[in-house]
Chain A
Amino acid sequence: MDQKDCYKIRIEDLNLYFATNHVLKGINLDIRKNSITALIGPSGCGKSTLLRCINRMNDVIDEVRIVGRIFLGHEDIYADDTDVTHLRKRVGMVFQRPVAFPLSIYENVASAPRVHGVSHKETLDNIVTSSLTKVGLWDEVADKLHKSALNLSLGQQQQLCVARVIASEPEVILLDEPCSALDPISTMKIEELMRQLAENYTVVIVTHSMQQAARASDCTVFMLSGEIIESGPTGEMFTSPRDSRTENYITGRFR
């Protein structure tokens, strides 16, 4: 594997403006393939906004203007001819609050392949079974697939959301503070799950919890006021940060 191919996502000179606010300032970042990259930083530093640039979820918001380029593999996802719906199939996203749709567990997972035109019953069955198995939810829900997903616990709902993302066979999975609404045990489950996912997918996670970044990620990116201050392998960053601001943040001296 040459140097270029071990990176899945390359962000070049990305600037994002919300109305007159300059939210992301000259972001340059390479994200490694099949690894977990954590974005950390205080609230409002732009880490979630940066994450949402990768599947163009910021497009939905009025008054957002984006300048710069993001490459997924070799394709510029901000090129004019990008099919955004196809991009979002390749780059799945899990949100902060689990978004279980008010449908059955089965339909929640099946909605992803259905969106992309799969309607064959057996194919859907297989996708639902394998996705739920991969996230470790199958044994708990196998006998109530056609019951409402809203009866699941929050932790289970978040696992379900991951299953739904996997069901559309993405290449990249973005997680936006996926554990902030969960209890410690569910959090642990999701972290284990991320570790498994990283074998096949490129995982990018935004987290508020330094411990989570330290425990669960391979690379860490520290952001402050819309800029990347420091990025590198997680071990190095947490033991010997190069920038004093990074050190202050990870030792909890400012928020």
Chain B
Amino acid sequence: MHNKETLIQWLLATVALSAIAVLALIIIFIFKEGSPVIARLGLAKFITGTKWSPTRGMFGILPMILGSVWVTLGALLIGVPMGLATAIFLAEMAPPGASRILKFAIQLLAGIPSVVFGFIGLVILVPFIRQWIGGPGFSVLAAAIVLGIMILPTIVSVCYDVFKAVPEAYREGMLALGATRWQTIKMVVLPAAKSGIIAAVILGMGRAIGETMAVIMVAGNATKIPVSPLEPVRTLTSNIALEMGYAIGEHREALFATGIVLFIIIALLNTLARIVARSEKV
């Protein structure tokens, strides 16, 4: 009996450790492949260089870093207010039946493959922007809108759970003071949920910055720094996905180095999310 316990414990530990080992191997591999080119060019030159021209040996990824930043910020600008409003409605106002149906619909949204989002963006959004707003259509704006919708399920479901975790006593206490529903939400529920909302935003940010396929299809992918939301843009992830198929030698190393930068950005965001979620529990 005791032996069986020990065996199961070891088995589970091995499986758990192998998952971590895979992660460790991935990290080691990207760093091993990518760091020589960074060492040769210098980190500063790599991340602040504005020219990306592999055939001439120029590897500056600043346009892609800024591209990822603009597209992600744009996505948050669209996704966070919408997601927050949806979560408030679902958790605080909607009748239980409607809430269940809407939550299900939002979860379906999470299950749609990103290529489908990209395709819809490509055939509807891009022509729409070209015709009615301006520019080539393939743009920061298009990518931000598509990503903004793609991060909705993350924001909505995390915020929903956070609101549901706010003690009922707070709402009751506030209503007993004569507050309306909206006053209750504004004055007590939102402040109580603040750290959870921030964590939701950071998770959404991680999802937006990591998304590749949908962005490639609508962003235009030009390797220059966009000066308006209507100009084409290339993100870090797009850069890797677009060129990995044919890259060799130093070019290939530079793509791995792009991966390193991306990895570090995402790791920082995740750490930030954890710190924020843990702190501020007033």
Contact = CB atoms under 8 A, between A and B. Distances in A.
Nearest to A57: B176
A88 B170 contact: no
Interface string A75-95: 000000000111111001101
Contacts of A88: 175-178
A218 B4 CA distance: 69
A112 B282 contact: no
- Interface of chain A: mostly helix, strand, loop or mixed: helix
Contacts of A165: 177
Given A101-B188, A102-B191, A114-B187, A86 B178 contact: yes
A150 B281 CA distance: 10
B20 to A, nearest CB: 36
A196 B192 CA distance: 33
A159 to B, nearest CB: 15
Interface in A37-57: 55, 57
A116 interface: yes
A99 interface: yes
Contact of A111 (B169, B177, B192): B177
A185 interface: no
Given A102-B192, A115-B183, A92 B282 contact: no
A99 B177 contact: no
Contact of B178 (A97, A115, A161): A115
The residue among B169, B173, B176, B178 with the most chain A CB atoms within 10 A of its own CB is B176
Contacts of B269: none
Interface in A103-141: 103, 111-112, 114-116
A109 to B, nearest CB: 11
A148 to B, nearest CB: 5
A164 interface: yes
Contacts of B174: 101, 111, 115
Contacts of A112: 177
A103 B178 CA distance: 18
A231 interface: no
A60 interface: yes
A99 B178 contact: no
A158 to B, nearest CB: 12
Contact of A87 (B170, B178, B188, B282): B178
Contacts of A116: 178
Contact of A168 (B173, B178, B180, B188): B178
The residue among A87, A97, A101 with the most chain B CB atoms within 10 A of its own CB is A101
Given A89-B178, A148-B282, A168-B177, A111 B187 contact: yes
B243 interface: no
A101 B178 contact: no
The residue among B169, B175, B177, B191 with the most chain A CB atoms within 10 A of its own CB is B177
Contacts of B180: 85
B172 interface: yes
B175 A60 contact: yes
Interface of A: 55, 57, 60, 84-89, 92-93, 95, 97, 99, 101-103, 111-112, 114-116, 148, 150, 161, 164-165, 168
Interface of B: 169-170, 172-180, 183, 187-188, 191-192, 282
19 contacts: A55-B176, A57-B175, A60-B175, A84-B178, A85-B178, A88-B175, A93-B176, A95-B173, A99-B170, A99-B173, A101-B170, A101-B191, A102-B188, A102-B191, A102-B192, A111-B179, A115-B174, A165-B177, A168-B177
Given A84-B178, A93-B176, 10 more contacts: A57-B172, A88-B175, A101-B173, A101-B188, A101-B192, A102-B170, A111-B187, A111-B188, A115-B177, A115-B179
